[in-house]
């Protein structure tokens, strides 16, 4: 019925593994929904730097520097880990803001994705990836990559390049306020924020510093690369719906076929017919929104001068105006970062994914196991990370006992439970698993 009454959905299923993903567990030939497991085939985040600070400390970007808007740039080549360390130390020690005081930091976090990725692992507390390392399934905080990361961060800490509030986890200022005040000079953030026309983005980091400091310049780069010239991007695998509407559409199991045909037809058109889907999501062009460029081939923008009660909810600001439709080639990217995104798509695709195991079909007890053990795992890993980075413990001497502490707190049970879930890469490649 999907092929007959929802042909555009059928094409999407062909493209995104849907025929494999949505199979009803106990009913051959039946489908339970419109979900997808999609490899996100483009990086959504980049390194953001204060370019005026790089200029002040005399560090040249790699690759070609491209100006996309007033005081907004991207460069086509990432920095290496060695360069990143030099930048962080210079930002802390060489007075990049020129006020004569040593009062700035490189970063304001202990966990910076782009550096963790350069060491070959991804994850954070609350977003706990697992992946294979040398054939062994591990939680991210137990990998050799994490160990190397923590070792690297000790040098940044020694040089005063890390905001000490990141160590204590406490501050009177938010990260957004610190960035706006020019207290640190590099962070990871979404490429999507690089949009001066978007007021909600201008009100938060990283863009807010362009308004608070008139001489500030920002530069995006691809994620820092490790010794093998590779990085990894967190958020590589997305599980969800193909379509915003279908995500909220539930159809009774016993609905008659003639009604189901009409439901499928509506889902097909509202989501995948270009004109109808634009109308359903954003309203009428010229009345509710403007095209940023050519109709159906550019991003959604607010109408200049029009008062919106809430531009975000009305779909002309924020993520929805960018990510709203399946076909992001057609509607996706604001002109300010289109070039950067195209560069990343062409050059960084193979650096996207570390696939581990995931309970795609909600068919194992992994969520119970995680609920039982993860809070204590977080305490152990977070404490170790802080103590190692600040030099309270020697990593070479304590790494094995750290792993033993994790094991004593349920680590092996987590791995055993994950081993029963689906191997994501094998599944996406149609190999079962
Ligand atoms: Ca200073």
pLDDT per residue as tens digits for the range 199-235: 778 889 999 999 999 999 999 999 899 887 777 765 4
Instruction: State which fold the 123-161+355-433 domain adopts.
Output: D-Maltodextrin-Binding Protein; domain 2 (3.40.190)
Q: Given this model, what pLDDT does residue 79 score?
A: 95
- The alpha carbon of 341 and the centre of ligand 1 are apart by a number of angstroms equal to 33
Tokens coding 341: 């995104």
Report pLDDT for 432: 45
Name the class of domain 42-109+166-231+329-352.
alpha beta
Q: Give the residue-averaged pLDDT of 234-239.
A: 50
What ranges in 294-347 are assigned the alpha helix state H? 320-323, 328-331, 335-347
Tell me the CA–centroid distance for residue 105 and ligand 1, in Å.
Answer: 9
**89 C-alpha vs ligand 1 centroid, how far in Å?**
13
**pLDDT recorded at residue 71:** 97
> Separation of 224 CA from ligand 1 center, angstroms?
25
CA 91 / ligand 1 centre spacing (Å): 9
Average pLDDT for the chain:
85
Distance 46 CA to ligand 1 centre (A): 25
| pLDDT bucket at 242, cuts 50 / 70 / 90 | low
Contacts of 400 (CB under 8 A, 6+ apart): none
Asked if the domains 42-109+166-231+329-352 and 123-161+355-433 are classified in one and the same CATH topology, the answer is: yes
Query: Which has the minimum average pLDDT: 7-21, 361-375, 405-419?
Result: 7-21
Q: Residue 244 — very low, low, confident or very high, per pLDDT cuts 50/70/90? A: low
Domain range summary for the chain, segments of one domain joined by + = 1-33+243-272, 42-109+166-231+329-352, 123-161+355-433, 278-325
Gap from CA of 166 to ligand 1 centroid (Å): 19
Distance 84 CA to ligand 1 centre (A): 19
The pLDDT value given to residue 136: 95
For 129-157, the pLDDT digits (tens) are 898 999 999 999 999 999 999 999 999 99
DSSP 89-125: HHHHHS-TT-SSS---BSBS-S--HHHHHHTT---BT
Report percent pLDDT > 70 for the chain.
84
Render 23-38 in DSSP notation, one character per residue: B-TTSTT-B---EEEE
Task: Say which residue, 409 or 320, is predicted with more confidence.
Answer: 409
Q: What pTM was estimated for this model as a whole?
A: 0.83
CA of 88 to the centre of ligand 1 (A): 14
């Amino acid at each position: 019925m999907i092929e007959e009454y929802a042909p555009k959905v059928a094409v999407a299923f062909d493209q995104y593994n849907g025929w494999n993903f949505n199979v009803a567990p106990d009913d051959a030939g039946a489908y339970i929904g419109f979900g997808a497991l999609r490899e996100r085939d483009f990086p959504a985040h980049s390194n953001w730097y204060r370019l005026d600070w790089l200029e002040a400390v005399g560090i040249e970007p790699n690759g070609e520097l491209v100006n996309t808007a007033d005081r907004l740039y991207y460069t086509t080549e990432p920095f290496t880990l060695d360069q990143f360390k030099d930048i962080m130390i210079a930002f802390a020690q060489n007075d990049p803001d020129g006020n004569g005081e040593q009062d700035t930091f490189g970063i304001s976090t202990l966990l910076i994705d782009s550096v963790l990725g350069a060491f070959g692992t991804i994850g954070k507390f609350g977003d706990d990836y697992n992946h294979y390392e040398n054939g062994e399934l591990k939680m991210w905080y137990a990998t050799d990559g994490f160990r190397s990361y923590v070792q690297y961060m000790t040098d940044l800490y020694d040089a005063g390049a890390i905001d000490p509030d990141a160590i204590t986890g406490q501050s009177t200022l938010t990260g957004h306020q610190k960035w706006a005040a020019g207290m640190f000079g590099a962070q990871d953030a979404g490429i999507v924020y690089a949009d001066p026309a978007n007021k909600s983005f201008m009100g938060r980091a990283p863009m807010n510093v362009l308004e608070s400091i008139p001489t500030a310049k920002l530069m995006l780069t691809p994620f820092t690369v490790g010794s093998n010239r590779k990085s990894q991007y967190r958020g590589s695998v997305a599980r969800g719906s193909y379509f915003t509407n279908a995500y909220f559409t539930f159809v009774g199991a016993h609905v008659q076929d003639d009604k189901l045909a009409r439901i499928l037809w509506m889902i097909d058109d509202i989501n995948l017919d270009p004109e109808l889907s634009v109308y359903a999501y954003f309203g009428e062009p010229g009345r509710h929104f403007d095209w940023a460029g050519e109709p159906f081939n550019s991003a959604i923008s607010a109408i200049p001068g029009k008062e919106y009660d809430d531009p975000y909810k009305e779909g002309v600001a924020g993520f929805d105006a960018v990510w709203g439709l399946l076909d992001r080639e057609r509607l996706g990217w604001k002109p300010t970062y289109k070039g950067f995104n195209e560069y990343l798509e062409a050059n960084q695709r193979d650096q996207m994914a570390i696939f581990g195991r995931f309970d795609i079909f909600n068919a194992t007890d992994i969520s119970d196991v995680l609920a039982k053990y993860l809070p204590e795992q977080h305490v152990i890993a977070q404490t170790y990370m802080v103590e190692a980075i600040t030099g309270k413990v020697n990593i070479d001497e304590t790494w094995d006992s750290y792993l033993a502490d994790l094991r004593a707190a349920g680590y092996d049970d987590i791995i055993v439970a994950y081993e029963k879930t689906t191997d994501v890469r094998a599944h996406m490649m149609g190999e079962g698993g």
